[in-house]
Structure 1
Amino acid sequence: MRQGILIGGNWIVDHVKVVDVYPDQDKLANILSESSCNGGSAYNVTKALAKLKADFPISGVGLVGEDEGGDKVIIDLKNHGVNTDQVQKTDKASTSYTDVMSVRKTGRRTFFHQRGANAFLDIEHFDLSKSDAKLMHLGYLLLLDKLDIIEPDGMTRAAKLLKAAREQGIQTSVDIVSERSDRFHDVVIPALPYIDYLFVNEFEAAMIAQYATVDWRGRLHVGDCYHAARKILSLGVNKWVILHFPEGVIAISKDGQEVYQPSVIVPEDKIAGCSGAGDAFAGGTLLGIHNGWDMERSLQLGVCAAAASLSEPTSSEGILPAEDCLKLGEAYGFKKKLKVK
């Protein structure tokens, strides 16, 4: 019987700088504090599951450099009980890193990214035959150079990896980076038929579905999010499209189930930064999915894990054990559901 989650993709060291304002070009901002932490989908989701105290095995797949950053990543994972047998070192590039500028008052972030070793992660680094995982999570598409390659048959290498996982009886989960480009059609859509659970935000959903989720004023319309999610399902996702936005999350299944879970009302004075909140949400939701919870309960843990992550400027340090995260939802309450127009 398969058990556990195998997590592959981006392993990044985030250098988080909390600033008073985000300046215009050629202007100055003050750095109020700085720290280093985990970053990237694979690293963040892995840490989220570990800090939620997931009661199943967690394993990583990826590349880091032969440097201090790579050593720190592997030591950190081992300290959190993660199997690192498939987190390998390469001499082709240094460990990937991102400079994250987080505005103290708003929590809004800006990223300056060095792709590093992640750019060389490819199919051969995933030894699926050695894994008893129930589920494989891959992220981020559009930020994994080798796996994003489109082959002559029109499939990406990521699509072929996901196909191989499903053929071995491993369920698949994928997250995407919010890249402003025209690559969504060519890189993301070929992978959809091999994805069981797809995590997207409102921007990514609009780019895949080619259907606007916000109006010209930048206001989100949840009815359009439902439409975009249904369109993505029609393009091949096998089980659920999970579409999150600041006010909450909707999830739509292949068989027509629809779930809306509002976000937690986190007091402004409890917000130290938003870095990693989306990955904390994914981690909480995947914990529920792995353990056979219904989608309503899984999404509730997801938004509560995201809320907990906001208490620290780093990606995962604010995340609490699952039961304590759920208590935050009880203590703070949830936002009102947006009206479907």
Structure 2
Amino acid sequence: MSEHRRGIVTGGTWCVDYNRVVTHWPEEDGMAEIVGEERHGGGSACNLAIDIKRLDPAMPVDTIGVVGSDEAGRYLVSLAEEFDIGTEQLTVTDAMGTQFCDAYVSRITHRRTHVYSVGAATLLTPEQFDFSATRARFLHLGLPGVHRQLDAPHGSDESGWVTVLKKARAAGLQTNLELASIERERLLALTLPCLPHLDFIIVNDHEIGALTGMATVQHGVTDIAACERAARAVLEKGAMSVVVVHCPAVAIAVSRDGRRLIKPSVAIPPELVVGANGAGDAFAAGMLYGLHEAWPLDDCVRLAHAAAAASLRSVSTTVTVESWRQCLDLARDWGWRSEPAGHRLEA
């Protein structure tokens, strides 16, 4: 790692989230009432960039993506400017409207369901990623399955994602890939060729199962032992120094140097939980921030959990993430869940 490098580049999805709290998530042909709604920025590149800036406003953050020249695009650009996120490579196009997502959060379960329109995200290509001048240390890239030109083969590479990751590493950056909740077969096909070009991967319990074909979650129950086995299997398939798997109750980290960590999550009071939308992004932001600062693995996971817990207090993805010190203070005040007695944990 080059010590003179500092900062994070986020690349990929910038969209507008229309976050709606509903009484419950209905079956098809059913009906639910909207009891709250907000508009915020969303997508992996947007969320992690803002989360990092909330954790540490002094951390340099740049971003690469495509938005439309419409009102939604102007809103996203203004968000980036508000948080002092570098936008030199955030392309504004007249060709298509800005990607947007209707994000529904159940008031009962706090789980979220996303329905999106891809819009200008389909125009993002590997050629738009220029790492020649950046002094950033990390690239956070996503989301496979959402950007059609990056999903397709590019030159001799299996996909544009592979091309971008190779370019970033050749320029001296370390890489992380954010995944989306798409079909398991599609997720595997897009992600597997990327693993040899990643330094980290931070995924949830469903995604790690998709990458290995293992049953890591069954009937809403996370199998910790299966997640750990899957994490080790993914570690062996790629170049990552660490693989991290998270779910609402626990995180599992395995590293190439043989370290293994299972850390329960923060015991946030249930009455403070509004929605889980963006909690995975907040977890990744805390994890990457700690890795960037060369913290011990345990401290990285601790901050990841703390940032995710802080984010649960809002239906939006980033609004309630605080500074890294404040997130850790909240975790200390709320306490931590008990160590899992066995290898299965209710999700």
One-letter identity of the residue aligned with 2:36 = S
The reply to whether residue 209 of structure 1 matches residue 240 of structure 2 is: no
Deviation at 1:153, TM superposition (A): 4.1
Superposition map of 1:1-341 within 5 A: 1-151=4-154, 153=156, 155-215=158-218, 217-338=219-340, 339-340=342-343
1:57-110 deviation per Cα after TM superposition (whole angstroms, max 9, x unaligned): 111110000101111111111111111111111223211100011112321111
Q: Report the number of matched residues.
A: 340
Q: Residues 214 and 174 from structure 1, CA distance in 2 versus in 1: closer, same or farther, beyond 3 angstroms?
A: same
Residues of 1 paired with 2:38 and 2:301: CA distance? Answer: 30
Residues of 2 paired with 1:48 and 1:26: CA distance? Answer: 37
Residues of 1 paired with 2:63 and 2:154: CA distance? Answer: 26
Residues of 2 paired with 1:31 and 1:136: CA distance? Answer: 37
Residues of 1 paired with 2:343 and 2:107: CA distance? Answer: 32
1:97-144 deviation per Cα after TM superposition (whole angstroms, max 9, x unaligned): 000111123211111111111121111111111211111110122222
Which runs of no fewer than 5 residues in structure 2 stay unpaired? none
CA contact (8 A) 1:240 1:252 kept: yes
Superposition TM-score, scaled by structure 1 size: 0.96
Residues of 2 paired with 1:91 and 1:251: CA distance? Answer: 43
CA contact (8 A) 1:158 1:191 kept: yes
Residues of 2 paired with 1:237 and 1:277: CA distance? Answer: 26
CA contact (8 A) 1:308 1:325 kept: yes
One-letter identity of the residue aligned with 1:77 = A
Is 20-29 or 201-210 further displaced after alignment? 20-29
CA contact (8 A) 1:65 1:94 kept: yes
CA contact (8 A) 1:285 1:298 kept: yes
Q: Percent identity?
A: 34
Residues of 2 paired with 1:84 and 1:222: CA distance? Answer: 40
Deviation at 1:178, TM superposition (A): 1.6
One-letter identity of the residue aligned with 1:127 = D
Q: Spell out structure 1 runs of 4+ moving beyond 3 A.
A: 151-154
Deviation at 1:152, TM superposition (A): 6.8
Find the residue that maps to 2:252 and give its secondary structure.
strand
One-letter identity of the residue aligned with 1:147 = L
CA contact (8 A) 1:198 1:237 kept: no
RMSD between aligned residues: 1.4
Residues of 2 paired with 1:141 and 1:237: CA distance? Answer: 19
One-letter identity of the residue aligned with 1:259 = L
